[in-house]
Amino acid sequence: SAVRLADALSELNPQQRDAVLFGVTAGAPATPPLLVIAGAGSGKTNTLAHRVAHLIINGADPHRIMMLTFSRRAAAEMDRRVGHVLRQVMKLASTQSPPSLPWSGTFHALGARLLREYAGHIGLADDFTVHDRGDAEDLMGIARHDLGLSATEKRFPLKATCLSVYSRTVNSQAPLTEVLDQHFPWCAAWHDELRKLFAAYVDAKQAQHALDYDDLLVYWAEMMEIPELAAAVSARFDHILIDEYQDTNRLQAAILLAMKPDGRGLTVVGDDAQSIYSFRAATVRNILDFPGQFATPADVITLDRNYRSTQPILDASNAVIALSSERYAKALWTDRASELRPRLVTVSDEAGQARWVADQVLAQREAGTVLKSQAVLFRTGSHSANLELELTRRNIPFVKFGGLKFLEAAHVKDVLSLLRWAQNPRSRLAGFRVTQLVPGVGPATAGKLLDAMETSTAPMDTLRAFTFPGAAGADWQTLVAAYDILRRPDATWPADMDTALEWYLPQLVRLFEDAPVRQGDLDQLSRIAALYGSREQFLTELTLDPPDATSDESGVPLRDEDYLILSTIHSAKGQEWKAVYVLNVIDGCIPSDMSTGTAAEIEEERRLLYVAMTRAKESLQLVVPQRFYVHNQTGRGDRHVYASRTRFIPDAVAKLFDAYPKRPPPGEPILGAVPPSVLPRVDIGGRLRGRWS
């Protein structure tokens, strides 16, 4: 097997090999702490996968390895790569699966898994519900209302804002005052009320046996403060490896340190030039401070060879990041020469942009690049609206990542709520939603029932005995019957899903005019359900990492179909495509007007553009519409405004691109008949900020 091992390693360059083998010895006892910090496309993720495989080959127990990734998709990709190396070394056929794979997933998913295991020790019911962002907002809204804070004349922050403040405070582990001053100054006057509100919100969650996303980390961190539990949990894992470490927050770093206080067994990997999640309280300090936090400082390995992109794409990306005020100590090189330079494409407006991209996508497909190897990236989910219409019109299939809506759709939420309420009868939020689906049942009746169930020792009996006025009776009985089946101890999965749907379909037809379309979503939900082993697993994982939105109502295209990728830049992290298009490379979008408050925010937007550009392997096109549609912000109506190329590509950097068209046709103003001087000039940033004042 020594020969095969050498085979697997021979694909790697010397620095990558150092990183894979660092501290690994026979029997694979815990290795000293290691940081791999390196630029985009230098093979960090790949190296991490090889390292996990080599730990296993050297005798590490896969069940004692924890692999933390940024998304469930990234976790699946990591499993695939680890499996690939293992198969290569073990000479397994591609259909055989290797013995077993490590615990892999996001911090939140693995947190949920651990918390269920240790629930009994930390005062949690093991049937706890995980609230998604929408649920959390609703609950915050209820708490806000109960405290009398929602009266409009008081102008108290909206429930979504309250949740953002709460979440940021929790994740940054900073005092509320500091978070308000630094990030939500317009809410600072409400400090005392917010504190009271958050206390009520926490109470409400606990009463309902519900955890929100943040709680999955908070409970994990708290658990690690009890010495006996910390010892037990830490001892479960010999090795913990984390990808994309630059986008973790303080709380995650604290958890990691508590899991491995001396750093033994820890490997973290990341790129400070790609840190793009500070709006979620991620801090690049985590990666920079990593080596120094242990008694014996961690070793640091850097990789400087890029394997992803051609030289012209890399030159342009390097030039963009080089203008940053921060110092990133990595200049990447590649031996992938190419004649094809990246393109800066000027189009008249967003409609022109959509047509251009659709044309190019088809042209590249003609030339042999399948749709799946092409991706269109943008700053915010809404930026692809025009393109989505154009693609639909031309029958070009696509899948959209980020900015997802599937689980937020009312009918999907209805069905999930019934399953959740059955899983956890204390989930008032779910119960409230489901009972009101019965015709004739309003909030008052629903509230009365839930109160009665909450105080009852036999909630199911209370439910059965509950009588409704008038016509609700018969419809009510069908819900009780379905709930009864779902609550049975011998309920099975995914049969539960059928039970829920059977009850729900008549409601769907009654509630929605477009019921047939929505039925397609429910069919898809049912297909997704079949992929999970249990109801509990389904509900938790679906909440944590929902499936992606798609181009047609019938759901995710089948695996072997070809489709174009549409993605926010944030969701494109870690991935690569042969051809990449970036939309709206203009000031106001990148950097976003929402983010140009501070120098630090602008720097983050620069890194965002860098992340977008470094996704491209062979072809990169940045599109610059000259007019941009601004939505009504202050009652002055929607309008087009003039846009200019992003400040991150000044003329000196633009020289590294091919301009298209070469120059505007002479005598014909690009914008058509309207001379620039008569179009209004608008301070978009001021308008957006005005919303908060």
Report the interface residues with Mg ion, using CB under 5 A. Answer: 44-45, 574
Task: Provide the token pair at 198.
Answer: 């958050």
**Contact between 83 and 586 (Cβ < 8 Å):** no
Residue 43 site contact among Mg ion, ligand ATP, none (CB < 5 to 8 Å, cut-off depends on kind): ligand ATP
- Specify which residues 629 forms β-bridges with: 640
- Residue 574 binds ligand ATP (CB under 6 A): yes
- Residue 613 binds ligand ATP (CB under 6 A): no
Number of residues counted as binding ligand ATP (CB under 6 A): 18
**What is the smallest separation between the CB atom of 247 and Mg ion, expressed in angstroms?**
11
Residue window 511-550: x/- pattern of binding to ligand ATP, with contact defined by CB under 6 A: ----------------------------------------
CA distances from 491 to 178, 485, 525 (A): 48, 7, 19
**What is the smallest separation between the CB atom of 54 and Mg ion, expressed in angstroms?**
18
Cβ proximity to Mg ion, 98 vs 574, nearer residue = 574
Residue 22 site contact among ligand ATP, Mg ion, none (CB < 5 to 8 Å, cut-off depends on kind): none
Task: Examine residue 591 and say whether the peptide bond preceding it is cis (omega within 30 degrees of 0).
Answer: yes
- Residue 206 binds ligand ATP (CB under 6 A): no
Q: Which stretch binds ligand ATP (CB under 6 A): 44-52, 254-262, 467-475, 671-679?
A: 44-52
**Pick from 41, 102, 352, 431: which binds ligand ATP (CB under 6 A)?**
41
Is 42 annotated in a binding site? The answer is yes
Contact residues for 77 (Cβ-Cβ < 8 A; gap 6+): 45, 69, 574
User: Which amino acid belongs to residue 78?
Assistant: M
- Residue 144 binds ligand ATP (CB under 6 A): no
**What is the smallest separation between the CB atom of 84 and Mg ion, expressed in angstroms?**
16
Contact residues for 435 (Cβ-Cβ < 8 A; gap 6+): 441, 445, 446, 449, 450, 479
Residue window 8-37: x/- pattern of binding to ligand ATP, with contact defined by CB under 6 A: ---xxx--x---------------------
The enclosing H or E element of 509 equals helix 495-511
What distance in Å separates the CA atoms of residue 470 and residue 464, rounded to the nearest whole number?
A: 16
- The alpha carbon of residue 613 and the mean position of all alpha carbons in its chain are separated, in whole angstroms, by 19
What distance in Å separates the CA atoms of residue 459 and residue 124, rounded to the nearest whole number?
A: 20
- Residue 43 binds ligand ATP (CB under 6 A): yes
Give the Cβ contact number of residue 282 at 10 Å: 23
**Pick from 19, 24, 40, 522: which binds ligand ATP (CB under 6 A)?**
40
Residue 41 site contact among Mg ion, ligand ATP, none (CB < 5 to 8 Å, cut-off depends on kind): ligand ATP
Task: Provide the token pair at 314.
Answer: 């890399």
| Positions of E strands within 309-418 | 343-347, 374-378, 398-401
Is 45 annotated in a binding site? The answer is yes
**Pick from 44, 159, 183, 250: which binds ligand ATP (CB under 6 A)?**
44
Q: Which stretch binds ligand ATP (CB under 6 A): 42-50, 134-142, 602-610, 682-690?
A: 42-50
Q: Which of 660, 662, 656, 661 is nearest to 309 (CA)?
A: 656
Residue window 305-344: x/- pattern of binding to ligand ATP, with contact defined by CB under 6 A: --xx------------------------------------
Is 41 annotated in a binding site? The answer is yes
Q: What is the 3-state secondary structure (H, E, C) of 404-455?
A: CCHHHCHHHHHHHHHHHHHHCCCCHHHHHHHHCCCCCCCHHHHHHHHHHHHH
Looking only at residues 253 through 312 of this chain, which bind ligand ATP when binding is defined by CB under 6 A? 271, 274, 307-308
Cβ proximity to ligand ATP, 41 vs 342, nearer residue = 41
Q: Which of 8, 75, 40 is nearest to 541 (CA)?
A: 75
What distance in Å separates the CA atoms of residue 606 and residue 600, rounded to the nearest whole number?
A: 10
Q: Which residues fall in the annotated binding site for ATP?
A: 38-45
User: What is the binding site for ligand ATP (CB under 6 A)?
Assistant: 11-13, 16, 38, 40-46, 271, 274, 307-308, 574, 576
Q: Which residues fall in the annotated binding site?
A: 38-45
